[in-house]
Each structure stands twice: as C-alpha cells, then as structure tokens.
Amino acid sequence: EKAIEFYNKALVLNDKVGDKTNKAIALGSIAMVHYNKAEYEKALDFASASLKINEENQDERNISNNAGLIGDIYLDMAHATNDKKKQQSLLINSKKYLNTSLDIQLKQSNWKEIAFNYEQLSKIEALLDNYKEANNYSIKASTYKDSVYNEDTKETIKNLEDKRAIELRDKEIQLNKLT
C-alpha cells in the first residue's frame, strides 16, 4: 500500500509539471503492484493508461514493457477463470500484447525478454490446445535462453580475465618495488 501511495504522489507531481514520461512510468509501476497482488482489473487499467502515454511518446522500450505486462495480466486472468469462452478471449488478448512486446524486443535484441515472451506464448498455445505451436515457441525460448547464458558466460570469463590481468600487474608492480 505504501508503494501505491508514493506512486500516486508521483502521478500528481508529474501531472503538475507536465512530465508524461514519468507519469507513464508511475502508472506502469502502480500496475505492477496491483498485478503482484493479483488485482488484475486494476493492473490492466493502469498498464493500459501507461501504454497509451508511451504510444503517444513513441517510447518503444516502455511500449514493449507495458504490452508485455498487459499480456501477462491477460494470461493470468485466463488461468484464473473456468469459463472456456472467456479464457479463450483472454488468451487471444494476451497473445496480441505479447506479440507486440516481442516484435519490439526482437528489434532491440533483448534476449532475456525475447526468451520470456516466447515462454509465455508457448503457455498460451498449450492452453489453446495448439501443442505444435506451443512446442515451436518453447524451442525458440530455449534458443534465446541459451544465447543469454552464452552472453553471460562470455561476460563472466572476460571479467575473470580482466581481474587476473590486474592481479598480475599489481604483483609485477610489487616485485619492481622490491628490486
């Protein structure tokens, strides 16, 4: 509740100064709080308001974030209902928003988000009984996860090599001081 209180204060301040970018961020943050509390309708309202502002601002990164969140909300709403017709409608909406997010993430080469979106799309297709498509998305998710792992591993190795080079240089400096 404290988080929502602070984000609401930020909304008021951003409205006063006319800062639409930070207003959209505050709306998205409020959406996340409601989403984490499983208050899906409220989360959807705030995420949609944030998305609208980000679309007006042509802020692709935050459009992708908002669309991904809306897709996740619809997916969780689909899981929460026993009404098959309603579930199918929610899944179709989820798929639409997740694909919007995915398209942007692909352009930006954001491997982690791409992998996550493919995982979510795989879940949707499985719930829609499209198992072949679910498997295809699962394979794509795994491929991107491997890419993320490989990138992380390369970075770790580079950091270790840099650390070792610094240690060797420091030892060499110490030896030079002794002689």
Note the pLDDT tens digit of each residue in 14-64: 999 999 999 999 999 999 999 999 999 999 999 999 999 999 999 999 999
The pLDDT value recorded for residue 155 is 73
Alpha helix (H) residue ranges in 37-130: 40-57, 60-80, 84-108, 111-127
User: Rounded to 10 degrees, what is the CA torsion of 148, 150, 154, 156?
Assistant: 70
| Residues 116, 62: Cα–Cα separation, whole Å | 16
H or E stretch covering 37: none
Amino acid letter, residue 163: K
Looking at every residue in the chain, the average pLDDT score rounds to 91
The pLDDT value recorded for residue 149 is 58
When pLDDT is cut at 50, 70 and 90, the band that residue 143 belongs to is confident
The pLDDT value recorded for residue 168 is 76
Amino acid letter, residue 17: V
Can you tell me which residue has the tokens 């207003």? Answer: 23
CB distance 52 to 101 below 8 Å? no
Note the pLDDT tens digit of each residue in 56-106: 999 999 999 999 999 999 999 999 999 999 999 999 999 999 999 999 999
pLDDT at 158 over 80: no
The pLDDT value recorded for residue 173 is 77
Q: Full-prediction pTM beyond 0.95?
A: no
| Residues 143, 154: Cα–Cα separation, whole Å | 17
